[in-house]
Every structure is written in structure tokens, then in C-alpha cells.
Structure 1
């Protein structure tokens, strides 16, 4: 009986394989099979360079890439180690996924698609930090687990595989970037679904909130500004190190260890708008005046300009809210709640008048679902924290005062309410148009991926080892 593979043509179809994004970074090892004479020279060089000789079997060659038997073995082991169920896919499916990734990466190189090395190194750092959490911070245990001799070679291996994965992702994006659906295509897609097979959508809620944030005193703001000005003076007039100031004093935990360093790219927005505008206005070696963002107050030192890339260091200080201001904010929101309960003002009007959350106040406090960009939240997909706040509320019931924290960790208070509830139902074209449009778009993307894969496989050197020729591939990897 032939082995089977679903081929997993597009990432939105890979729910059971999401963890592969970083598990593929453990595919180390070497090859046992002798590469044939008609194998591309770049692949031969790669096999020799990695020491891939008579140790591990070559499962496949795709363009300039090789896939080893150990790649599949270690992916399976890591999936199990992470607690993922392997019941829904088999070895052939994992192999098919690896074939696709290498095909995308190979074609990305042919199409001169570029990736940012600094971004890849940052991703490697994040992955290694995650791995270290599982070994209680022991790099020796980590290297032993991944059978690497030293940290440098481990990082190099991680870098190359992350680069391959990023190239593959960019190639996928390029294939589908111009795929769109018209309203007529959406209508035809929906009408072609047999009634008994139409999707069912779970219970949906519309949620609104009012947020009151304790105010920082002007004296506290000025204290922080003056402190940042002092750090700036110490560097400019006393010759002290900006990097050392950042390590010692910045309140940005993400950059504290590396001296407040970030690499910004003019063509790829990163950091908030105010931060970028100040950074890009500086000359090399210049330190900005203190400026404010939603995170607090900053000063920026522009260390180096490399074409479109700017290496900057910053120091962030966050003004502290006094206990008196916290007490005032809580008393204010309690009064607002009582006014709504008494019927003196609607929840929506109270949000417009009193809420400090500018993203929602002018919509009557209505929250926007970040996944769909509309006001509906499917109950089974709702953020657990938000679900916990509204699960016991009836329609239009106002919650008790909730103590929350913003993204900087500062305390804020809020009220939430459910403004509408739609029970689980069969898909309705008018009411569920946006969801149906997404389904239609996904199907059209699948078709674009299938067409691209079929054409690219024909034009690419591919060799599958005998051990995998019984896999039931849906794409023509065997070129029959």
C-alpha cells in the first residue's frame, strides 16, 4: 500500500504543522548517499561542506538544496517533544512539507529575492532564548540535545535554516500577492457549496469597553525628561558611553542587554511612528532631545547608517503614576459605571465622553477584531483574557470595574459590555459576507499555489530517493 501525503500546499492549511516554523531549525546531520553525476554542482559542494558523507541518507535533492532522512526524523521527534499530536500526519506528509519549503527557497534565490541578515540573526537569538528556557538556561545541555560541538556552529546552522525558511515564506507571498476575488467570484463560490456542506460559524459577540488611565503628573513627566537630558549631557560633555547608560538605565527590557540597540530600515517600518521620525532625522553620532511615545520618554543615539539601515540605541524611561492618581482614576470609572447603570447615559455615549482609549472611544467603545478588522468576535477564537472578562455578561450588562495593564505594564481600569450576540449558525451570504470572501480568497490562493508548484517542479532539478517513491504525492515530485 502506498504511503500518503496531503502535500500541504499553503500555510493556511497547516494547522497541525504550525510548530514546524522553528522545529525545522534542528535539521542537522550529514548524508550517506553518494550524489550522482547529474546533481547540480552547488548541491555537491553543499554536501561536502556540511560533511554529509556516509553518515546520513539523502532523502531528496530540490534545486540547490538537499533534504536528509534525519531532517524528517528530528522533526517528528521534536513535534513529540513539544507535545504536538502526530496522529493527523505521517512521515510522507512531513517529507512533502520539506519538499515544498525547499522548492520555494530555491526559486526565491532564482528570482533574486533577498532577506535581511540582521533580522535572521535576531530571530535566531529569540529561538535560542526559547530553547534555553527548556534547558534551564544551560547552553551545554542545548548543544548536547542538538548534537552540536559549540555555540558558534549551532548558531550558523540555525542561521542558514532560518534564511531558507524566510526565503520560502517570501516566495509564497510573491506567488499569491496579486490574487484577489471579485464580489461575483465570492457569490459563485458560495452558490457552488451544496447546502448540506455549507460551513457553520460559531457564536459571535460584539464587545465595547471604556478605559480610564491614571494620569501622570506634570512634575513626574518633567523629572523623566530632565533625567534623559542628564544622560545626554554625560555622553556629549563627559565622554561617557551611551551603551553603558542604556544597559544601566533603560526600561526597555527587549533591548536592555544589548545596550538599547535596534536596526531600523526606511523601507520596512519598525517601532512606532514617533520613534522612526526622530531616528531618521539624526546624523551619525548625534543624540536626540527627549521625546514622547505611548511607551514613555526616549532619547536616541544614531550609531551607524548603512544604506537604508540605521543602527540606533535608545534609552526609555517611563513616568511613574502616584497612588493618589490611581485612586482618582478608579473612583472616576466607578462613577461612570453607576451613571450608566442609572440610565443617565448610554455605554456608547459614556465611552465617547470619558474613555481614554482613543482607538475605540469614537466608535462608542466598540472593539475591533484584529484578525478580521470588523466588530465581531467568534467566541471560540476570542482572546482568553477578553473572554474571561465577558463570559458571564448578558447583552448590554456592564461589567464590574476591571483592573488591567497596558503594554508598558502601567495600571488602567475598564468597563466592558456585550453589545450584540449572534448564536452559532449556518453561513449566510449577506450576514457573513466577509468570512465567505476569505474562504473564496483562500481557495483561489490554493489554485495559484498548485499552478505555480506544477510549473516550477517541471523546471527544477528534483531527485527523490527510493525510500520515498511510494509516497502518494499530489504534486508531481516524481515527474512521472
Structure 2
């Protein structure tokens, strides 16, 4: 799907696969190996968690059943006390989240029927019924964990004491990092080309109004590769990860209505709404993007070369050139500096950097400017850019002054872990817990046996 925000799809699918797949095996008759408050843990839960870890490519040779069982018990303890503490997870919240995950799963496997079949359920209603309970428990668990650590803060003195308390041979090593900045020049699309696309969409729209099949038109003309096979079909709700402009139009239409052509970052669309079911809309759409001419690409390259020459000649700084000339609105006002999507800070650890970006900057020295790079991005198309790196730090043993923020993060996490351990110890004492004799020899981190 070219116009959906995909960054959450993979993580959602892994979550669904892990939790739902683990639940599927509960259809077999197996033993209850643990009880925590109102929740039970089945022996098959451990079997299937091992299988799922292997599916994800994780070596399970050194992971014991006792460790996995302990994790299951912890999750049940959180969920049980979330209810006791009156943490509320509404049905509407669960249903909304479930629909988002189902959309992601359908995109992965092709259809709802395939999802239901994959998880060995009789029908969609049965699948949704137990999937609902899984999501609700997961949300209770995460909210309880958040509540435990929400008020945990850390002072500079605590950070200092934490660092001083690390044995010399255990002081962490931080990888090489750098700050990256870029200037982007996009090719200019002519008004004539935009008009051509809009006129074609209007022509298609009129044909459909006159009786032609929107499905057939989508198969023939849409440039959205994800939906071409289904005739441009999607089912969305307000929280589906589509761009705002697309959803605004989709939810403004009545059943059977076809939109005028409208623009998003991906190009121009028309939408036909087929059905409205409560908060969900079933629709078909056609996407067409204006084409960039060869001359426009040449002009963009010439412009980026001219900018680079001015920076090299000290006529303007890289940061000022980005502010005045870059076509990337997200970075131009910050002098072209990129934010690390993992940390939302302007530094990238080389070993964790996107491979494509790493290839573009790894050989640059501080302050050096790359030659023009032809690049391409979702929703942007092809463009030219120049990049530079600043404030490079090599791999080094943690230094309190230089790495204070990283050390503070480690110290805070350590304090949160201790707070969770303290909470768990107290709650285990006051919660009904029963462990199967089959697991009596497990050496758990928590005192599940209440010895």
C-alpha cells in the first residue's frame, strides 16, 4: 500500500502472531500449570511461545521453560492487579485496536478468511471473540506496568551514584555516533502534468457515474500496487494509518458517492464509498501520480550542484542553505539536521543506522559534503540531495560528562526495574498463586512459590 503509513504494520503483525498463535493451541486439552489471581497459564502456552521465538529467528537453546513460564506469570500478575486497581480498558478501545491489527494482518496474508484459517478458528466471530480477550489482557498489562513506573524520576545525584557504582570492567561502551544533515531538491512537476492527471481522473469518474465499473477502472489505472488486485478496495476507520487527507475525504462521502480528484503526498486520488458500517468505511480508490520529466530531473541536479558549490566556497553555511533552499519541510528549519527515528535525537549510532543512509555518510569526514545523490522515497518519488556529517564521536567507554544523557537513561531504567521488582514482591504476597508440581524445581526470579 503506497499511501498508508506502514511503520507500525510489522510490529503489529508480530504482536498478533505472538499472542494469537499462542492462544490457538488452547483448543487442545492440556494442563493448567499456573494460576495468578483470575488468570491461568497452560502448558501449551510455553510450547507455543518457544515455537514463536524460533519463527522470529531467535535461538532458543539457552531459553528454558522455567524462564518462559516466569514471564507468563508476570504478565498475568500485571493484568490481575490492573483490574484490582480499577484500570479501565474499554470495549471501544479494544475493538478499535483490534481492527487496526486485523487490517495489518489482512495486508500480510491477503484476506480475513485466510487470517481465520491460519489461526484455526471456525469463523470470524469466533476469532474476534478470543482475539478481543487477548488484546484486553495485553492492554491491562501494559497500563499496569506504566502505572508502576510513571512516577519514577531520577536526580543528577542518583545518576552520578549509579555510574560510580558500576564496576570498572562493566562500564558500558557506546558505539560511534554522528549527526547527519541533508539538503533535498525535488524536481518540479509542471502544472500541465498535474492537469493531465486530474483530467484523467475526472474522465474515469464520469465513466463510472455513467455506469462503468469502478473495480475495472481501478485494475486498469490505479498506481497503488497494494490494492490493484482488489480493484482499489480498502476498509478503514478513523485510526487506520492512512494519511489525513485521504481519511478526511473518505469519511465525508455518503454510500455510493464518488469524490472529486484530490491530492495527497502520494499523488491524486478519487474515492468511491461502497458501504458505511458504524465507524468503518469500505471504499475503492484510484491513485495516479504526475510524472517527472527528464528536464525536471536535470534542473533539480543542477540546482543541488549550485547549492553545494556555494557551501564549499563559504558563500553560505550548510545550515543556512538548508533553511533557504531545501525542499524537505521536516528538516529545513533545523538546518537540515535529521532526527534519529529510534531516539528522536539528532545523533545516529553507526551500527544501528539505516543501511542506505550509512552507505551515503560512512566515508564522509566531519564537515565534508557529499556529491549529489539521486534518492527515492515513499510519497516523494525521485530527488537529489547532498549530505554532511558533524560532531562525530568514535566508539568509546562511557564518560560521565560526555555521555550524561545516555547514562541518565540507563540509571532511570535501573531504578524502574527495581521499582517493578519491589511492586511484584509485594503483590505476589497478597495474590492467590498456584504453581504446578511439574515446575516445582524452577528457579524463578520472583518468589512465585512464596517461600
TM-score under structure 1 length normalisation:
0.75
1:424 aligned residue (369, 374, 395): 395
The Cα of 1:207 is off from its aligned counterpart by 0.8
Map residues 75-224 of structure 1 onto 2, 5 A cutoff.
Answer: 75-105=49-79, 111-114=87-90, 115-117=93-95, 119-120=97-98, 123-124=101-102, 126-127=104-105, 152=122, 160=130, 164-165=134-135, 167-169=137-139, 171-176=141-146, 179-180=150-151, 182=153, 185-193=155-163, 194=165, 196=168, 197-224=170-197
The Cα of 1:192 is off from its aligned counterpart by 3.0
Map residues 32-51 of structure 1 onto 2, 5 A cutoff.
Answer: 50=27
Q: Distance in 1 between matches of 2:276 and 2:156?
A: 47
Q: Distance in 2 between matches of 1:170 and 1:252?
A: 37
Classify the secondary structure of the residue corresponding to 1:192: helix
Tell me if the contact between 1:366 and 1:375 (Cα under 8 Å) persists in the aligned partners. yes
TM-score under structure 2 length normalisation:
0.79
Q: 1:230 maps to which residue?
A: 203
The Cα of 1:401 is off from its aligned counterpart by 1.9
The Cα of 1:155 is off from its aligned counterpart by 10
Cα distance change of structure 1 residues 285 and 336 upon mapping to structure 2, 3 Å threshold? same
Moved more, 222-231 or 444-453: 444-453
Tell me if the contact between 1:176 and 1:445 (Cα under 8 Å) persists in the aligned partners. no
Tell me if the contact between 2:100 and 2:240 (Cα under 8 Å) persists in the aligned partners. no
Q: Distance in 2 between matches of 1:462 and 1:181?
A: 28
Moved more, 385-394 or 85-94: 85-94
CA offset digits 1:336-388 (Å, max 9, x no partner): 33333344333223222322111112222111112222211122222222111
Q: Distance in 2 between matches of 1:113 and 1:180?
A: 21
Q: 1:397 maps to which residue?
A: 368
1:350 aligned residue (308, 316, 321): 321
Classify the secondary structure of the residue corresponding to 1:394: coil
Tell me if the contact between 2:75 and 2:141 (Cα under 8 Å) persists in the aligned partners. no
The Cα of 1:310 is off from its aligned counterpart by 4.9
Map residues 413-452 of structure 1 onto 2, 5 A cutoff.
Answer: 413-452=384-423
Tell me if the contact between 1:330 and 1:413 (Cα under 8 Å) persists in the aligned partners. yes
Q: Distance in 2 between matches of 1:353 and 1:129?
A: 40
User: Which structure 2 residue ranges, 5 or more long, are not aligned?
Assistant: 1-12
CA offset digits 1:109-138 (Å, max 9, x no partner): 774414444653553564577579xxxxxx
Cα distance change of structure 1 residues 337 and 125 upon mapping to structure 2, 3 Å threshold? same
Q: Does 1:26 align with 2:4?
A: no
The Cα of 1:404 is off from its aligned counterpart by 1.1
Tell me if the contact between 1:24 and 1:71 (Cα under 8 Å) persists in the aligned partners. no
Cα distance change of structure 1 residues 261 and 126 upon mapping to structure 2, 3 Å threshold? closer
The Cα of 1:463 is off from its aligned counterpart by 3.2
Q: Distance in 2 between matches of 1:452 and 1:160?
A: 29
CA offset digits 1:34-92 (Å, max 9, x no partner): xxxxxxxxxxxxxxxx3x43xx3333344555433233223324433543222453221
The Cα of 1:209 is off from its aligned counterpart by 0.8
The Cα of 1:323 is off from its aligned counterpart by 2.1
Give the paired residue count. Answer: 427
User: Which structure 1 residue ranges, 5 or more long, are not aligned?
Assistant: 1-17, 32-49, 133-138
Q: Distance in 1 between matches of 2:381 and 2:398?
A: 41
Q: 2:378 maps to which residue?
A: 407
Q: Distance in 1 between matches of 2:125 and 2:340?
A: 38
Q: Distance in 1 between matches of 2:229 and 2:89?
A: 32
The Cα of 1:293 is off from its aligned counterpart by 1.8
Tell me if the contact between 1:299 and 1:316 (Cα under 8 Å) persists in the aligned partners. yes
Q: Distance in 2 between matches of 1:71 and 1:389?
A: 45
CA offset digits 1:140-181 (Å, max 9, x no partner): xx97xx8x7x67569956983585156414531453167155
